[in-house]
Structure 1
Amino acid sequence: IQHDSFDYDTMTFVGNMSDGHPLYINSRFYNSDLKIVTGFIEPHFFAGFSGGPKAILPGLCDINTIMHNHNAERIASDKATWAITEGNPVWENIREGARLVNPDFLINVALNTEDKISAVFAGSWEDTHRKGYLFVKQHAMQKVTQPYDIVITTNSGYPLDMNLYQAVKGMSTAAQIVKDGGTIIIAAECSEGIPYGSHYHQILKRATTPSELFDLISKNTETEPEQWQVQIQTRIQKRADVYLYSNLSDKEVEEAMLKPCHGIEKLLKEKGGIVAVLPKGPQTIPYIERD
């Protein structure tokens, strides 16, 4: 079955969420005698973790619910970030949707840096996913004791760095430990461009500065596809300079309101300061240990 979130004829209304929003779920799944969800667990840059209830929302729900979940107000929360569940409005909305559906069983896996299975979690969906993400948090998060002047990151190479849209995840990884006013350098090939003509690309054209675009999105009452990616990117750019080392032309990079980097070593010499390097990008999430 290939779920189509736009095709309401293939979905069933399962109830209203606590804010009154109606939830529709793929009918063949919802009406099944045994509902099993699968997936893999990794830190997610605004939903806390993947896997678990994300198989339901956004995996099997309607497009309006996806947009509702990804709205500017939720994304703006400082809790809507890597490895946070409780208090994260994106995560809590996802969990609420899954509770309305209440799948019977969950099978999730954790992967290592070679994309091989490192752990398997199976059982009741909510408790089992919690055990899984606590395991992943222990193994995929790395604490540091201070913020850095410069953070060099990637988006874990191809295919994860095939376009700039995906590379925002790598920027978000670096943003966890960069100083205010610092520098992020992300190496991402972007072999498929921005991608051109995408919603992300079109939204990037609506302003001339990150702050202006961030403010425009923050005022949106209607959620557009991919606006969350621009919201996160521009929020990062309000705190730090972001340089992109890629196959994109300088014009393309600058149109995305980023700064082109022609040589990382040269840029490091120009900038100076304490440097952190995240060679695997979002496969290992750093965080600052607070007192």
Structure 2
Amino acid sequence: MELPLGDGTVRFELPDCEVDVARAPGAEAVDPRSAATAAIAAPHGPALDSLVDAGDSVAIVVTDVTRATPDGVLVDCLLSDLTAAGVSREEVTVVVGLGLHRPMTDAELRGMLGEHADLAVNHDPEDTVVAGYVDGTPVELNRRVHEADRVLSTGMVEPHQYAGFSGGAKTVAIGAGGEPLIRYTHGPEMLAREGVRLGRVDANPFRDAVDRAGDVVGLEFCLNVTYGPQGCLGAAAGEPRAVVADLAETAREALSVPVEDDYDAVVAGVGAPKDANLYQTTRAFTYVVLGAHDPLGEGGRVVVPAALPEGPGEGTGERRFYRYLSEADSAEALYEEMREGYEPGAQRAFVVARALRERSLYITSSHAAEVVEDCLMHHRDRVEDAVEPGSRVLVVPEALHTLLV
């Protein structure tokens, strides 16, 4: 069998195991540029050219290197319509929504945005202003975004552990925001609420808080896509809530796979860009264990091939994630400790600890074995070394683009 690993693949054989494969049905892939152009022409809500005036300054908040969003294409499509509406290119700033992730390098910006890389700046969570409040929590916003006459965003609507599906207002409110909203939305109280779960948008308190923060920061128009194993499955533009609802339905139909119970192991594929660091890679683990349907039996394990060239990760959130896990004596002790609160960005350690209480995580094929072993996880050189002979195994080739139901 073959799974993603970095920009390539890894092959493995499990001849002594009973193996099933959970492959999302997908849908017919579409050309991202054509889909984005059509979405802008038929938006949810007011058209873009009715929201901007000639001479307006515009901030476009885009996703960062941890998302496989075709931001260069989406920005180009937005700029085309802005130019037609009388907004000059010189009045546009592209802000990379990092949240608490590391800044993107100049080379990465050129690779992502192409000819529009000169418009880009990395978000600085220390250079923000308070735009308003959500549930008494200050909504801090990147200063350049706050000072712009109009705010737009790109995004990827894909399964998300807390928001149900990412995209919409999240790109701006979290990506170009400050620590207070991240602390509130990613804190243990919020993450324990009913409805905060993978694949759920309606009646999801996390999603609702982020959407209301989007209202506070003035996001009226976004351009999002959704992806599956076949590629881009669709695009939608306009009012952020409607965009997320539209593409979440598309994604849900394409990515849901009914599965059985009592597997001994799940082998989950990730690949670039998510397997660049351990922080992002562990999404595959928690998506399996804490998703709509955990297919593992008692004592089950998740095995994830991951390159990990950045080790635990280089951003503020990734460093906090590593510190909590590497200093913990056990998953149970860490979970109980973090239930009392933690720093913004460390929420992934909390969720991983929650899952590790009953499940094991094995990372294989990586460049960071010591980092993995430091974090209450196990490292093996090969997938075959992480699966016990005679196991009943479920292989999920695209774990971050598959909803197990």
> Could you say if the C-alpha distance between residues 260 and 27 of structure 1 is closer, same or farther in structure 2, counting changes exceeding 3 Å?
closer
> Which residue number corresponds to residue 146 of structure 1?
261
* Larger relative contact order (CA 8 Å, sep ≥ 6): 2
Q: Please say if residues 152 and 185 of structure 1, whose CA atoms lie closer than 8 Å, have aligned partners that are also in contact.
A: yes
Report the Cα distance in structure 2 between the residues aligned to 1:276 and 1:153, rounded to whole angstroms: 8
Which of the numbers 244, 247, 253 marks the counterpart of 1:132? 247
Report 1:1-291 matches (<5 A). Answer: 1=93, 2=121, 3-8=123-128, 11=129, 13-17=130-134, 19-30=135-146, 32-77=148-193, 79-113=195-229, 116-155=231-270, 157-175=271-289, 176=291, 177=294, 178-195=296-313, 198-220=319-341, 223-248=342-367, 251-270=370-389, 272-287=390-405
Q: TM-score, normalised by structure 1?
A: 0.85
Q: Please say if residues 217 and 227 of structure 1, whose CA atoms lie closer than 8 Å, have aligned partners that are also in contact.
A: no
Which piece of structure 1 moves more, 211-220 or 35-44? Answer: 35-44
* SS class of match (1:190): coil
Q: Please say if residues 311 and 368 of structure 2, whose CA atoms lie closer than 8 Å, have aligned partners that are also in contact.
A: no
Q: Please say if residues 6 and 62 of structure 1, whose CA atoms lie closer than 8 Å, have aligned partners that are also in contact.
A: yes
Q: Please say if residues 184 and 190 of structure 2, whose CA atoms lie closer than 8 Å, have aligned partners that are also in contact.
A: no
Cα deviation, 1:1-27, whole Å, max 9, x if unaligned, reads 43322213xx3x33222x211223335
Q: How many Å apart are 1:210 and its aligned residue?
A: 0.9
Report the Cα distance in structure 2 between the residues aligned to 1:85 and 1:225, rounded to whole angstroms: 22
Q: Please say if residues 164 and 198 of structure 2, whose CA atoms lie closer than 8 Å, have aligned partners that are also in contact.
A: yes
Q: Please say if residues 179 and 240 of structure 1, whose CA atoms lie closer than 8 Å, have aligned partners that are also in contact.
A: no
Q: Which amino acid aligns with 1:15?
A: G
Q: Which amino acid aligns with 1:122?
A: A
> Could you say if the C-alpha distance between residues 23 and 226 of structure 1 is closer, same or farther in structure 2, counting changes exceeding 3 Å?
closer
> Could you say if the C-alpha distance between residues 192 and 35 of structure 1 is closer, same or farther in structure 2, counting changes exceeding 3 Å?
closer
Gaps of 5+ in 2: 1-92, 94-120
Report the Cα distance in structure 1 between the residues aligned to 2:142 and 2:369, rounded to whole angstroms: 44
Report the Cα distance in structure 2 between the residues aligned to 1:249 and 1:26, rounded to whole angstroms: 34
Q: Which amino acid aligns with 1:243?
A: Y
Q: Which amino acid aligns with 2:126?
A: F
* SS class of match (2:258): strand
> What is the alpha-carbon root mean square deviation over aligned residues?
2.4
Report the Cα distance in structure 2 between the residues aligned to 1:185 and 1:34, rounded to whole angstroms: 45
Identity of aligned residues (%): 24
Report the Cα distance in structure 2 between the residues aligned to 1:190 and 1:134, rounded to whole angstroms: 32
Q: TM-score, normalised by structure 2?
A: 0.62
Number of residue pairs matched? Answer: 278
Gaps of 5+ in 1: none
* SS class of match (2:366): coil
> Could you say if the C-alpha distance between residues 262 and 77 of structure 1 is closer, same or farther in structure 2, counting changes exceeding 3 Å?
farther
Q: How many Å apart are 1:203 and its aligned residue?
A: 1.4
Cα deviation, 1:162-210, whole Å, max 9, x if unaligned, reads 2211111111133242234212111112222224892222112322111
Say which one has the larger Rg. Answer: 2
